[in-house]
């Protein structure tokens, strides 16, 4: 039942909003993973980010997508928690009082052959402002070096639905996917490579580089 509701939600609401109201422009779609396990690493400015990334995939594959999200926010009330768990199918992450291995649920997701959606910045930034990635994505890649990381840069969603707002503003949005990366042998090299890739994708959209 939840899978059916998920398909209906994306087919009848999310995709029409993205295409008709926001005029989403997608480049590099061929670089998106066709199957799991895989990691999508994207910048983060809006609640629309997760929905947009999921909407890039065929409806039949939605059940394979697992966005990592803050447990304290998305599980804060029962209705939001039901929606987050059953329609978005988040992997809730504790931002305080973490378990011994904070990557355990993410590793299990990859071990099941699913596609993990990560926002290495952590929380949403100010509209269209990028901040330095945190190293969690590198630690995860080190633990599963065979799993590809697919960088995706998004622009415009932070203005269409900025942090702290629930009012959707029509604003053209770009999504640009880049070639997959793999664990290069060190945390520093992965972080440098990922930031370099993101800057290159931003340049394709004529967006200012990291601030």
Global pTM value = 0.90
Cβ(101)–Cβ(109) under 8 Å?
no
Q: Which CATH number fits domain 2-204: 2.60.120.560, 3.40.1160.10, 3.40.50.2300, 3.40.1130.10?
A: 3.40.1130.10
pLDDT single digits (tens) 25-62:
999 999 999 999 999 999 988 888 999 999 999 999 99
How many Å from the N-terminal Cα to the C-terminal Cα in the chain?
44
Most confident listed range (9-23, 74-88, 123-137, 164-178): 9-23
Residue 190, φ and ψ in degrees, nearest 5: -65, -45
Domain boundaries, the chain: 2-204
Distances in whole angstroms, Cα of residue 69 to Cα of each of 85, 187, 194, 196: 10, 23, 20, 25
Residues 6+ apart with CB under 8 A from 85: 75, 92
> Between residues 129 and 195, which one has the greater pLDDT?
195
């Amino acid at each position: 039942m939840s899978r059916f509701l998920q398909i209906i939600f994306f087919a009848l609401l999310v995709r029409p909003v993205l295409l008709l109201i926001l005029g989403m422009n997608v480049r590099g779609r061929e670089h998106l993973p066709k199957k799991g396990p895989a990691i999508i690493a994207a910048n983060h400015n809006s609640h629309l980010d997760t929905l947009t990334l999921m909407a890039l995939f065929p409806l039949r594959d939605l059940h394979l997508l697992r966005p990592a999200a803050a447990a304290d926010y998305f599980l804060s009330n029962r209705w939001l928690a039901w929606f987050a768990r059953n329609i978005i199918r988040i992997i809730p992450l504790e931002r305080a009082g973490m378990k011994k291995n904070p990557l355990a649920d993410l590793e299990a997701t990859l071990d099941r052959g699913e596609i993990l959606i990560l926002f290495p910045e952590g929380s949403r930034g100010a509209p269209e402002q990028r901040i330095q990635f945190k190293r969690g994505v590198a630690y995860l890649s080190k633990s599963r070096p065979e799993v590809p990381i697919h960088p995706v840069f998004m622009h415009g969603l932070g203005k269409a639905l900025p942090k702290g707002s629930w009012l959707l503003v029509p604003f053209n949005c770009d999504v640009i996917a880049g070639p997959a990366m793999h664990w290069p042998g060190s945390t520093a090299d992965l972080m440098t490579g990922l930031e370099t890739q993101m800057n290159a994708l931003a340049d394709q959209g004529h967006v200012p580089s990291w601030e």
